[in-house]
Amino acid sequence: MNPDPTSPDAWVDMLSAVFMIVGAIMSLGAAIGLLRFPDLLSRMHAATKPQVLGLFLLLASIGLQMRTWWVWPVLLVAWIFQLLTAPVSAHMVGRAGYRTKHLHRELLTSDELEAVVQKAAARAAREGGSDDGRGD
């Protein structure tokens, strides 16, 4: 620990320590969510959101600790790729989960997609049936 608590170095250390702890708590939150939420779709919420912030905070604390400017672009690119990929994977899993009915309907207060899916399935059945009942 730095002997002088008011030096800029000490502040940077403190800030990165706070970032690291909060980031770790966010990742812990994601893990608790995965365990405690009742169905696949609510678990996907837990899997996508807190760790985006958690990763941001951990990367920021790495950046602060390295004290060189050239790590920042790598960290930023890593975070941007996370931002781009997390929603896509969540969407793919969520979509497959909804279609294969891996969800607890009794926990939904409203479902505006079900009517659309059933209408499309009925139309597909009228037209001689397709494999998954959707036109896209």
Residues that bind other proteins (CB under 8 A): 25-26, 29-30, 32-33, 36-38, 41-42, 44-46, 48-50, 52-54, 56, 70-71, 73-74, 76-77, 83-84, 86-87, 90-91, 94-95, 98, 107-114, 116, 136
We find the least distance from the C-beta atom of residue 16 to other proteins, in angstroms, to be 17
We find the least distance from the C-beta atom of residue 101 to other proteins, in angstroms, to be 12
Cα gap 71→63, rounded to integer Å:
6
Q: Which is nearer to other proteins, 4 or 136 (CB)?
A: 136
Q: Which is nearer to other proteins, 7 or 83 (CB)?
A: 83
Cα gap 74→132, rounded to integer Å:
42
Q: Which is nearer to other proteins, 8 or 105 (CB)?
A: 105
Q: Work out the angle at residue 28's Cα, subtended by the Cα atoms of residues 23 and 32, and round it to the nearest 5 degrees.
A: 150
Q: Which is nearer to other proteins, 29 or 133 (CB)?
A: 29
Are 125 and 133 in contact, with CB atoms under 8 Å apart? yes
Cα gap 43→89, rounded to integer Å:
13
Are 10 and 59 in contact, with CB atoms under 8 Å apart? no
Cα gap 105→39, rounded to integer Å:
10
Q: Which is nearer to other proteins, 5 or 95 (CB)?
A: 95
Running DSSP on this structure, what letter comes out for residue 130?
A: -
